[in-house]
Amino acid sequence: MRLISLDLIAFGNFTDRKLAFPGDKGLHVIYGPNEAGKSTCIRALRDLLYGIPENTGDDFLHEGKRLRVGGMLLRSDGERLSVVRRKGRKDTLLGPDGKPIPEDVLRSFLGGVDRETFIRVFGMSREELLSGGRAIMEGKGSIGESLFAAGLGGADLKGLLGALESEAQELFKPGGSQPKLNAEARTYKELKTKIRDLSLLPKDWEELEGEVSSLENRSNQIKEQIARMSADVDHLKRLRDSLPVFAELKDYRKKRADLGQVKVLRQEFSAERIRTQSENARALSDGKAAQQRIEEIDAEIGALVLPEDLLAQEKTVQGLVEELGSVLKAQQDLPRVQGQVLEANQAAKGILSELRPDLSLESAGVLRLTVDRVERIRRLTDEYGKLTVRRQSAAERVSENGRKLAEAQGTLTVLSEVRDISELERSVAIVRRRGDPEKAYADAKYAAKSANEDA
């Protein structure tokens, strides 16, 4: 796997900074002064591949939930992968579109290298390099061990080898009996001896194996024979149990053949037959009850003795029977009609007491109107309506004249002193005695027009 680019989107002291590593270069060196961010780049690459720790120290500039580092990876088969890592607990690996992608996609590019191995082999920091250098200097000529220890990040290789040696002494010691492997070896020898004692000679084993094989074959043959016989017994039992059924089937087939050609019924015929049988049973029951009732009525009729004089009045009786309904209806309505008559009498008495207190209800017939009085009342009613209209119109004119009078009086109050118009009034009186001047003018105009037409 190769790293094509590292995008420090928001990580440590970097914001939107991108490092490109072209594929045509075999080796890339990143250098710079102290605190320039070289170790931050190593941590960014490590966190891109394996996730940003919960207690990271690279969130001093950017808020933890906003930390972002991205990159592009190239696998040995030529496939590329662009990813972005965010800080979080779930779905922290994102694609270029910002949507989560499975961690397995990235693991396929890492070749099985876990976080710890990556840190020790590929991602050593300055402190780990210094620790490895000290381990080389303390190796006293053991350069291979020193380099191996430096590759492990400066681990105490001598101490580790001593611990392994002590653990090996506890597991196995030549000539010893207490170490675990020594005890297991002794137990193995004892079991091996026991197995040899219990083992058979090859010839005996072959004979016994052949006998066992023969017995097994015989057993399998017997089992197969038993299975076949059991199947035959089951078949015979089923045949025996089926004999009555076959006999009944044979009988039904004979009856079916005796029936000849049978019409195929509808699918719902069975339900209709059951319903029809039920209705037929009810009809038979109702018919028996009706027949019994008829017999009872016939017996009652036979016991009747009708007199001849009553039979002679058959038509009269028939007419009375026909009128009986009307009589019963009138008898039923009689209380209601009587109540209505009583209410009408009470109302009439009340009206009569207001109009003519001197008369009783029985003598109220004298108040019945004649034709002349009805005609006069109708005529007076019409005149009353006309007079009412005229009265209303006159009242409106009086109201209008009153309004005009009030307006004239109001105008009069604001006018100057009225001059003497007695002379004018005498002149108007003279003109009025001579006739209507407007009519005289119109007559004269008409006479002139007539004269012009005659000329």
Which pLDDT score is estimated for 80?
93
Percent of the chain with pLDDT over 70: 76
Whether residue 47 is predicted with pLDDT greater than 60 in this model: the reply is yes
**Averaged pLDDT, 272-293:** 87
Q: How far is CA 66 from CA 40, 87, 169, 233, in A?
A: 17, 7, 54, 82
| 98 within some domain | yes
Tell me the whole-structure pTM to 2 decimals.
Answer: 0.34
**Averaged pLDDT, 26-55:** 89
| 25 within some domain | yes
Contacts of residue 147, defined as CB under 8 A and 6 or more positions apart, other chains included, come to: 136
Whether residue 396 is predicted with pLDDT greater than 90 in this model: the reply is no
* Model pLDDT for residues 86-111, shown as the tens digit of each residue: 999 899 999 999 999 999 999 999 88
| 251 within some domain | no
Residue 14 CB: number of other CB atoms within 10 A?
Answer: 21
- Give the burial class of 21: count Cβ atoms within 10 A of its Cβ; 0-12 exposed, 13-18 middle, 19 or more buried: middle
The amino acid that residue 220 corresponds to is N
Whether residue 127 is predicted with pLDDT greater than 50 in this model: the reply is yes
Contacts of residue 390, defined as CB under 8 A and 6 or more positions apart, other chains included, come to: none
Cβ pair 76, 1 in contact under 8 A: yes
| 63 within some domain | yes
CA–CA dist 387, 393 (Å, integer): 10
**Averaged pLDDT, 198-220:** 82
Number of folded domains that form the chain: 1
CA–CA dist 20, 3 (Å, integer): 9
CA–CA dist 365, 352 (Å, integer): 11
CA angle 17, 22, 28 (to 5 degrees): 80
- Give the burial class of 266: count Cβ atoms within 10 A of its Cβ; 0-12 exposed, 13-18 middle, 19 or more buried: exposed
Say which CATH number the domain at 32 has.
Answer: 3.40.50.300
Contacts of residue 420, defined as CB under 8 A and 6 or more positions apart, other chains included, come to: none
| 156 within some domain | no
* Model pLDDT for residues 34-45, shown as the tens digit of each residue: 888 888 999 999
Which pLDDT score is estimated for 141?
42
Give strand pairing partners of 73: 3, 81
The amino acid that residue 292 corresponds to is Q
Task: Assign 53 a pLDDT band (cuts: 50, 70, 90).
Answer: very high
CA–CA dist 441, 435 (Å, integer): 11
Q: Which residue has the higher pLDDT, 156 or 258?
A: 258
Whether residue 193 is predicted with pLDDT greater than 80 in this model: the reply is yes
Residue 49 CB: number of other CB atoms within 10 A?
Answer: 25
Whether residue 72 is predicted with pLDDT greater than 90 in this model: the reply is yes
Which pLDDT score is estimated for 342?
84
- Give the burial class of 12: count Cβ atoms within 10 A of its Cβ; 0-12 exposed, 13-18 middle, 19 or more buried: buried
3-state secondary structure (DSSP) of residue 52: coil
| 213 within some domain | no
* Model pLDDT for residues 435-455, shown as the tens digit of each residue: 555 666 566 656 666 665 554
| 130 within some domain | no
CA–CA dist 353, 346 (Å, integer): 11
- Can you give the residue range of the structural domain that contains 33? 2-123
DSSP string, 58-118: --SSS-GGG-EEEEEEE-TTS-EEEEEEESSSSS-EE-TTS-B--HHHHHHHHTT--HHHH
| 223 within some domain | no
